[in-house]
Amino acid sequence: KQEVTQIPAALSVPEGENLVLNCSFTDSAIYNLQWFRQDPGKGLTSLLLIQSSQREQTSGRLNASLDKSSGRSTLYIAASQPGDSATYLCAVRNSNSGYALNFGKGTSLLVTP
């Protein structure tokens, strides 16, 4: 069974800092990995999707990397802003067990002004 772990569980940084969120998974046989943002009481907003054959994806101040063989992904946020405060979730889709996404518990990020 795929286990997805996110570290740290919570993070507080001052505005302007660059930061890295970590995601690890136990089964490297994945189709893709998706990073989401979730604001309190809201649904999930897709940030980046990385195919298993890709090493990284970028969108604006966000950069996600994937090392499938070691079962790791990182989400890099540059020049953090208070509006980045949210919970960030990592999810993987296995290549051999259907279409479900397997989620981590998330990292709760607070960016202080």
Partner 1 sequence: GAGVSQTPSNKVTEKGKYVELRCDPISGHTALYWYRQSLGQGPEFLIYFQGTGAADDSGLPNDRFFAVRPEGSVSTLKIQRTERGDSAVYLCASSFATGGYNEQFFGPGTRLTVL
Residues in contact with partner 1 by CB under 8 A are 4, 31-32, 34, 36, 41-46, 49, 51-52, 89, 91, 93, 95, 98-106
- CB nearer to partner 1: give 32 or 74: 32
| Nearest distance, CB of residue 20 and partner 1, angstroms | 19
Q: How far is the CB of 61 from partner 1 (least distance, A)?
A: 20
Q: How many Å apart are CA 99 and CA 21, to the nearest integer?
A: 25
Query: Considering the complex, what minimum distance in angstroms separates the CB of residue 19 from partner 1?
Result: 20
Strand partners, 90: 35
Cα of first residue to Cα of last residue in the chain, in angstroms, is 41
- 24/8 Cα distance (integer angstroms): 11
Going from the C-alpha of 19 to that of each of 29, 37, 52, the distances in angstroms are 28, 15, 24
Q: Which is nearer to partner 1, 34 or 65 (CB)?
A: 34
CB of 89 to partner 1, least distance (A): 6
Measured from the CB atom, is 83 or 99 closer to partner 1? 99
Q: Report residue 112 as tokens.
A: 């202080």
**CA-based nearest residue to 21, from 82, 85, 68:** 85
Q: By C-beta, is 36 or 111 nearer to partner 1? A: 36
